Amino acid sequence: MAAAALEWLAAACLLLAVQVACEYGMVHVVSETGGPKGKDYCILYNSQWAHLPHDLSKASLLQLRDWTTSMLCSPSDLPAKGFSNQIPLVTRGNCTFYDKVRLAQGSGAHGLLIVSKETLVPPGGNKTQYEEIGIPVALLSHKDMLDIFKNFGRAVRAALYAPHEPMLDYNMVIIFIMAVGTVALGGYWAGSRDVKKRYMKHKRDDEPEKQEDEAVDVTPVMTCVFVVMCCSMLVLLYYFYDHLVYVIIGIFCLASSTGLYSCLSPLVQRLPFGKCRICDNSLPYFHKCPQVRMLLLALFCVAVSVVWGVFRNEDQWAWILQDALGIAFCLYMLKTIRLPTFKACTLLLLVLFIYDVFFVFITPFLTKSGNSIMVEVATGPADSATHEKLPMVLKVPRLNASPLALCDRPFSLLGFGDILVPGLLVAYCHRFDIQVQSSRVYFVACTIAYGIGLLVTFMALALMQRGQPALLYLVPCTLITSGTLALWRRELGMFWTGSGFAVNTSLL
């Protein structure tokens, strides 16, 4: 295991070594006439030209001169009095970055911002050129340039700087609580519900609304089919992202509204009002006489899903709805899908472990861009015309101000698969606890192991500063903990096959 981990780390480091050196920075803009408070904008720079200060207080606040009518490719493009103690804005194109920055430096500029209407790329050069240039050069998007002049006017000053990226953002605490809470609640609910249905059939309620969906046992064939479907969908999304992303968004709206209804219906059924029924209706997916409160709940769940679908790109608050719907979807899936044995758990987790590692660490060597298919699809391709993001993730905005948060990744993400896959094992552990009357020792141990695996994932993310396959850490932590506990308690045989039922209703 250690040797394999070192091999993966070496491969990742090799991949990073061959990429073009580039970094995200910030340009802090203020108005010369007072006006509104200053604002930071994203820039992409190459520290091999010149380093930027890490602290804004140490960066020089210089006049930002709009020279975007020129490409700055020849001496004739220079103003008569040069760019003394200024940071000129010039348009990208017609010549190399080196040609532009050499002319700017020769005319007295203390920095250069190249405005680009295209995707920002690192301003590259060669070693000789790097040694010749002593001023920073960076790319600024055309959209940000328009925003600067709209908010601050033409008389502005700017400072270029690049603050250190924090090792971990505080939003990881929120993601950790949501993920572990969902796994624990989903595993507990699924285990209790399954055993109740097996051993308390005499307490079944004849009311149609209270009948629960049947759980689906996962077979080895279903596991193989599921993994093939995951691989196919991921590859299709990589090549046809702009077309398929709307299909995924539609599926998420439908599935999440169903999950929200499933999670809230037990609570609504406890309310003392709204019990009157609407009989002889032709409503789809409802029984002959649904209660008014259940119809209202269904309308509410659909409305929440529709609101998210319409306003999904509102970064300030739409992520809250997405996380709520995502958690409801995960709880619903944990309740509906059941792994009947530890053998089935092991098969599913190991196959998805290989799937996750392959698409994060191996695919960069197979794609022309050198990017991971998994990371590219999860975060949305940079060249996507729709700029849509897949909703199958928990997302929380970054709480620390940093160039990465401003430029590229304003949110931290955790995929639903990193909750559902270990969550199915946690649910199995809870069912087995009830079967052998073990006071939930398996459930608690597996939930704690999941939390530890998630912390290890965050540590790896901080150390490697790139997307991590969470199942690489979650699967070993949960599988080894569960199996070792069963071996220590001399129950590995029963745990492996799921046999030995001896229900204790006090644990339900």
Give the distance from CA 394 to its chain's centroid.
Answer: 6
Position 323, amino acid: D
- Only one residue has tokens 């997405």, namely 322
Catalytic residue, chosen from 169, 194, 323, 418, is 418
**CA gap 169, 462 in Å, rounded:** 9
Tell me the residue ranges of DSSP E strands in 46-143. Answer: 62-66, 86-91, 112-116, 137-141
Neighbours of 76 (CB within 10 A): 6
CA triplet 340, 343, 345: central angle to 5 degrees?
65
SS3 at position 88: strand
Distance CA 435, CA 507 (A): 10
Give the β-pairing of 62-66 and 86-91: parallel
Q: Which residue has the tokens 């930002």?
A: 64
- From 122, 141, 148, 136, select the one nearest 60 (Cα to Cα): 136
Q: Is 55 a catalytic residue?
A: no
Q: Is 163 in contact with 54 (CB distance < 8 Å)?
A: yes
- From the list 16, 22, 18, the residue with the least C-alpha distance to 136 is 22
356 is catalytic: yes
Is residue 422 a contact partner of residue 478, using CB atoms and an 8 Å limit? yes
CA dihedral 497, 500, 505, 507 (to 10 degrees): -60
Q: Which of 169, 194, 323, 356 is catalytic?
A: 356
Burial letters for 120-144: b for 16+ Cβ neighbours within 10 Å, e otherwise?
bebbbbeeebbeebebbbbbbbeeb
Q: How far is CA 472 from CA 4, 278, 318, 334, 343, in A?
A: 11, 51, 30, 21, 19
From CA 162, how far away is CA 394, in angstroms rounded? 28
* Unique residue bearing structure tokens 């597996």: 446
The rounded distance, in Å, linking the Cα atoms of 97 and 159 is 20
100 in Cβ contact with 364 (< 8 Å): no
Q: 3-state SS of 233-300?
A: HHHHHHHCHHHHHHHHHHHHHHHHHHHHHHHHHHHHCCCCCCCCECCCCCCCCCCCCCEHHHHHHHHH
Find, among 58, 49, 64, the residue nearest to 113 by Cα: 64
Active site residues per annotation = 356, 418
